[in-house]
Amino acid sequence: MIGVSNDGDTMSTITRHETFVYPERDGKPMGETDSHVIEIADLFTILRDRYRNEANTYVGANMLCYYEEGIPTSTFCPDVFVVFGIPKKSRRTYKTWEEELTLLAEEPVLANYWLLAHYFLGNTDACRTTCKEAQKAKGEFTRQLALIIEQLLDKPASASLGKLKPKKLAELIKETRKNCFSEQLEPAQRKLLDAERVEAIAKNMQTLHSVLAVIELHSWKAAAAHLVNAE
């Protein structure tokens, strides 16, 4: 769950990181149906039991997760989540840059995932940071993948990923970005995506209005023809 980067007591307690405040609650009411509450509780219990003997597997629930250092608004709150490779201990919030960045050299699978995830999401800065850490990994495959991803970032018009050529890679990046949550993107990319989606909604509304106008016109003509026939 490595996030993008930008160089206790009661539940209202806040956690501080340097000059930034990372709240432990978002102040929003939790609206869940009975079935959802039961499902969340059951899944949390099952996963906790499944990994009870694994010291480096953490199971959390309804916890604020922060994925951009220095931007407290970059957060999400999963019902239940599992993170492999981190100590099983009590947490108030989950910050990806504190928990996972240092694990990349020790957890090749985690490194592989974030190398590819950030690359296809278009998170260039986060991808380069991941590449740097992944080159320290124990596994040869992970180190080679990091080098390949760096080449893709440096030479997007000529580098390839296996059988995937530049044109196909560009298509996959565009499609991934199109279908992702904007919160998964670096700030600059997020603004572009949000603007694109607003524009797409506006175009869809224009198309809908045009269709409705045609339907209305057709209905009016049909009604007029019916009146003529009746006469």
Q: Which helix (H) or strand (E) holds 154?
A: helix 140-154
Contacts of 109 (CB under 8 A, 6+ apart): none
Joined together, the tokens standing for residue 192 give 């572009």
Q: Which helix (H) or strand (E) holds 21?
A: strand 20-23
Residue 185 has pLDDT above 90, yes or no: no
Contacts of 152 (CB under 8 A, 6+ apart): 119, 159, 161, 169
Task: Kindly report which listed range (5-9, 125-129, 137-141, 194-198) carries the lowest average pLDDT score.
Answer: 5-9
Joined together, the tokens standing for residue 111 give 């490194």
In contact, 94 and 155? CB cutoff 8 Å: no
Distance CA 44, CA 230 (A): 69
Q: For 201-227, what is the mean pLDDT?
A: 72
pLDDT score for 169: 95
DSSP bridge partners of 21:
16
pLDDT score for 27: 75
Distance CA 76, CA 78 (A): 6
